[in-house]
Structure 1
Amino acid sequence: MNFNQIIDMLIRMVMRKLMNFGINKGIEMASGKGKAPAEMTPEERKAAGDMRAAAKRARQAARITRRMR
């Protein structure tokens, strides 16, 4: 392995972590985490919970598809 390959590998690893962090933050904000549960109506709380569950399933599906490659 030469030096360029090692640098490329490290850059890919850091970029993957940053992308996952950004995607997860975006999903959390979209699912209503920007608002405190005390400020939400019961319908909003249920919708936020449903959104978080759907996001969790989407992350699991993405993980499974990455393993199949």
Structure 2
Amino acid sequence: MERIISMILRRLLSKGINSGIRAATNRGNRKQDQTQEERDLERQGKQTSRSLRQTSRFARRFTKF
């Protein structure tokens, strides 16, 4: 039972962290208020954060052994 609860909490925590990262890359602006340049910067930031998350996952996977 404890494992299930910790698994659910871990998932919720990671979703909260991801939404916080998304909000930070938005810099508080909504899509309709952004210029094309700001949208491009946001897209680039999201791609960078996605690649960093993948890299950290791979690093965790390799350091287990």
Unpaired stretches in structure 2, ≥5 consecutive residues: none
SS in 1 for 2:30: coil
Partners of 1:12 and 1:26 lie apart in 2 by 21
Partners of 1:11 and 1:65 lie apart in 2 by 26
Partners of 1:42 and 1:34 lie apart in 2 by 12
Among 30, 36, 46, the alignment partner of 1:35 is 30
- Deviation of 1:62 after TM superposition, in Å, equals 2.3
Instruction: Please report the TM-score for the alignment, with normalisation by the length of structure 2.
Output: 0.75
Partners of 2:29 and 2:22 lie apart in 1 by 8
- Deviation of 1:34 after TM superposition, in Å, equals 5.0
Give the RMSD, CA atoms, in angstroms. 1.8
Partners of 2:56 and 2:5 lie apart in 1 by 21
Which protein shows a greater Rg? 1
- Deviation of 1:48 after TM superposition, in Å, equals 0.5
Instruction: Please report the TM-score for the alignment, with normalisation by the length of structure 1.
Output: 0.72
- Deviation of 1:9 after TM superposition, in Å, equals 1.2
- Deviation of 1:11 after TM superposition, in Å, equals 2.1
Q: How many residues align?
A: 62
- Deviation of 1:66 after TM superposition, in Å, equals 2.8
Which position in structure 2 is the counterpart of 1:66? Answer: 60
